[in-house]
Structure 1
């Protein structure tokens, strides 16, 4: 047997073994996707007391999206019961020249929205972070 025939035979056995192994995997039934299957109803986020919750922002934006507003609306009952809410705006100083202002603008926009949801603004403390490579607002809820 020539060397090329041996390599070809070994390759065929190898690939046959791989394909045989794939037949043991469970298959899922085929489903048809509807035109709106990519839309999912927002789920109420689970936030433990004292744990931070992050709202991600686009790099050049401080405006709340409708999805973020829905999340904050769902969190409102838990936030009303909290004694302290720390809103820490994040903006990377490596990405944005006025990172401090952008970080605070994000936190302020979240604070303004929460006030419209009935959260007392005296409970909220604004902070900022420009060192981390984040574009977000972190909500830390204190008992």
Structure 2
């Protein structure tokens, strides 16, 4: 057995049924004041029909109309959706602007050096953006050397970190269309640097 129809649907259906029966009753002459009352004159009978139809139509409209609370809720949702979209767009624009500022700073300091956080071997969005800014120049290099840096005084796994950083940059370059055959990996743990130097061999 399926779920029962909503109360609102039942009320609307009942109103429509009542209206249909009322109109049919008017047309068949069954709506009389009492059985002994003689038929009303044509004009009065017509007016009675009109009044009864208006009453039933008003009842049907009341059954099917939207409540003020529902209308207010719908209007509120329609107003809030654009505001939420604008807030999301503004936040995304601000984040992109901050990212671009960091990339600009790295490009101004040393375009070919991709910084990494100390103790980390993950290429972050700033590093990826920095590489993409100069991807055309990198693709034009016949031979590419990636030298991973991690100062040995900052970690007992400096060599592993330096190599992992170089691998991260290599994989990103390959994903960006650079042939892996043209790339050579090197490491350096003597300098107090954390990153990868991209150079033409």
Q: TM-score range by the shorter chain?
A: 0.5 to 0.7
1:86 paired to 2:148: no
> Structure 1 residue 71: deviation in Å?
1.2
| 1:72-106, Cα deviation, whole Å (9 max, x unpaired) | 11221111111111100000110110111100000
1:53 paired to 2:123: no
TM-score (norm 2): 0.47
Q: Which has the higher helix share?
A: 2
Are the counterparts in 1 of residues 99 and 126 from structure 2 also a CA contact under 8 Å? Answer: no
CA distance in 1, matches of 2:156, 2:165: 15
Query: What is the aligned counterpart of 2:195 among 125, 136, 139?
Result: 136
CA distance in 1, matches of 2:162, 2:121: 8
Are the counterparts in 2 of residues 80 and 119 from structure 1 also a CA contact under 8 Å? Answer: yes
Q: Which has the higher strand share?
A: 1
Flag the structure with larger Rg.
2
CA distance in 1, matches of 2:131, 2:195: 14
TM-score (norm 1): 0.65
Q: Which runs of 5+ in 2 are unaligned?
A: 1-90
Count how many residue pairs are aligned between Structure 1 and Structure 2.
Answer: 104
- Aligned Cα root-mean-square deviation (Å): 2.5
Q: SS where residue 149 of structure 2 aligns?
A: strand
Query: What is the aligned counterpart of 1:109 among 154, 168, 172?
Result: 168
In the other structure, the counterpart of 2:177 is: 118
| 1:30-59, Cα deviation, whole Å (9 max, x unpaired) | xxxxx949726344948xxxx971111111
Are the counterparts in 2 of residues 85 and 123 from structure 1 also a CA contact under 8 Å? Answer: yes
CA distance in 2, matches of 1:40, 1:80: 24
CA distance in 2, matches of 1:40, 1:105: 24
CA distance in 2, matches of 1:109, 1:62: 7
